[in-house]
Amino acid sequence: MRSRGATRGSRGFSRHEVFVQASFVAVALWTVALVLIWLPPGDRDRFGRVKGTDFAHFYTLGHATREGRDAPVNDAVALHERQTRLVPASAADLYRVTYPPQVALAFWPPAFLPYGLALVAWSVLSVSVYAVSVRLAWQRVRAAVPDGPLVFVVALGFAPFWNLVLHGQSTVFALVGFGAAAWALERNHRVLAGAALGFLWMKPSFAPLAVLAVAVQRDWRALLGLLASVAAQVTAAGWVFGPGVWREYAELMAGLDTSSIEPSPGQLHSLAALTGLLPDPYDVAFWGVVAGGTVWLLVRAVRAAVSPTVSLGLLVMATVLASPHLTVYDATVLALPALWIGGWLEAARPELARTFWRLMYWLAIAYLLPTAHLVGVQASVIILATAFWISCRAVARTSHQVTGSPHPLTAA
């Protein structure tokens, strides 16, 4: 069986042409990483940045965990002083405290290693989690998307993943959460699926829609697992750092100036990048409208429940779109819904599969190009929004055909 999506790319590119293009991109990206970033001696790359960039902050949090209750995990100034002692090359880099305290616990093991070795260990872990997540996602749709080598080179050359490894970021928590939830849902382990989704609180911007999706489906077992997972994280952080750590974190978030943590336009890949083109206060109001519309589409699709992994894939896409702050490396999670939804479309809606794969092709290209420097917004936002809309319509039509009940999207 040949997959139309895997065989044909955008503009009629053959499967071989797409394979060659993806291979070229993968080789180019990782050659740049090796020659300009990893091989230069010392803790700084050839661009003058500390190697691992954001990992310096996580490494510092890990060291704070070793000191337990005496460690100021919510004090940016104290953390920067500690960071400068641990990684002198990062002295010019000041990181805002935005992650909840339990994240520090996850970086406790790497903190026993020197910075360079800790970065290597975290990079290996990130690559391994990504590889396993993509492979499991592909295995679920292998009958519809049989071309494993093509999937491999596209995943390897996916620019968000490349950025994830180079930044030493923590998107692996979201990959574990979504990937483990898919594995559990396919085996009807509802409590375990909820517990996996609760793990998304390690990346706070990824968590709200997961809670909403579980609540909409009235899956009380999954909700129980989710709440238990969050409670375990709260308890663990309170036990290590003291119960006051959560009061401090709440006060910190309440007074946080979000403008101080916003990336450059070329690094922002959610609908907030689009609405941010408007002047205050219209940007916030319009973001509320488009984010609300995204959530509405997600709720409708989740209620249709055509497939657990399709619902989960739409949840991932909606989370990326509606996030008020989503940097390029966090878009790594989109590798999973691209396979889940693309494979489902091949079987259920083959007339839409070709369009979906074309959008995924151009989405991967868009993550390579800084279009925001030309038109003010990354093209990835518009492409992903279109793919999400098409996928929601396909779910609505399929659900309508199966149940015979009307669905608002079918008339849209």
Q: pLDDT digit string (tens) for 280-318?
A: 888 888 889 999 999 999 999 988 878 899 999 999 999
**380 contact partners, CB below 8 Å, separation of at least 6:** 269, 331, 363, 366, 367
The residues pairing with 8 across neighbouring beta strands, listed in sequence order, are: 14
Q: Is the pLDDT of residue 107 over 80?
A: yes
**What residue has token string 């880099």?**
93
The pTM assigned to this predicted structure is 0.91
Q: Is the pLDDT of residue 5 over 60?
A: no
- pLDDT for 347-358, tens place per residue? 988 989 999 999
Q: What is the mean predicted confidence (pLDDT) over 176-189?
A: 94
Q: Is the pLDDT of residue 216 over 70?
A: yes
Helix (H, G, I), strand (E, B) or coil at 279: coil
265-292 b/e with 16+ CB inside 10 Å = b?
Answer: bbbbbbbbbbbbeeeeeeeeebbeebbe
pLDDT at 262: 65
Q: What is the mean predicted confidence (pLDDT) over 384-404?
A: 81
Q: What is the mean predicted confidence (pLDDT) over 379-405?
A: 82
**125 contact partners, CB below 8 Å, separation of at least 6:** 172
Q: What is the mean predicted confidence (pLDDT) over 141-153?
A: 93
